[in-house]
Structure 1
Amino acid sequence: MAIDAQALADSLHIDADSTELATLNDLIVTATELVKDSVAYSQLDNFTPDQLSAVPLFESAVKALATALYYDRTLSNGMPKAVDIMIVHLQGRLRGF
């Protein structure tokens, strides 16, 4: 299942007006691309949203990063440690290490 702005808003207890949902959707798109680029596994570009959802930890990494971006758009403290850990795990899993 692809990550949904409404579901993320619900999990963060954010009032889901159209502006907030649009913001969350943009952050989900950004987080998805950042995670894909950070994993650096070229085959991810060919995955459908359902296939990405089936990759263990992919959605968790995207949700965690989208949440971090929601509260700190510039990631002034860098990538959250939990996201770093999930990306390293994804790199190993996808590359067969």
Structure 2
Amino acid sequence: MAIKAEGLANSLHIDQTEEELSTLTGLITTATDLVKSSVNYELDDASYEKFPLFDACVSSLATALYYDRTLENGMPKSTKIMITHLQARLGGK
């Protein structure tokens, strides 16, 4: 996917230490898996790469996970909206 730890760190104004980048990489991986499993886990990465909305959704969820690792209040509404749109476009299963 196009989301990289360095880019997310820049957008969140987080220092790019080895520890922070490692944390962000793990959160991006988790967010990517959560979004894919919410939309259509059977699709390959190339199918998702066609939709910039996928990267926005992963970025949104990774950001939420950074600030609230347990997602105590659930997924952000913006993430849910993007997942709904991706399901409609990609035939959610």
1:15 matched residue in structure 2: 15
Report the counterpart of residue 66 of structure 1 in structure 2.
Answer: 62
TM-score (norm 2): 0.91
User: What residue number does 1:92 align with?
Assistant: 88
Distance 2:62 2:25 in 1: 9
Taking only aligned residues, the RMSD between alpha carbons, in angstroms, comes to 1.6
The 5 Å alignment of 1:40-51 reads 41-44=40-43, 46-48=44-46, 51=47
Count of matched residue positions in the alignment of Structure 1 and Structure 2 = 92
Instruction: Give ranges in structure 2 of 5+ residues lacking alignment.
Output: none
Q: Take 2:8 and 2:17, find their aligned partners in 1: how far apart are those partners?
A: 13
Percent identity between matched residues is 60
Deviations 1:29-84 (A, max 9, x none): 00000000011x2432x224xx4232241000000000000000000000100000
Gaps of 5+ in 1: none
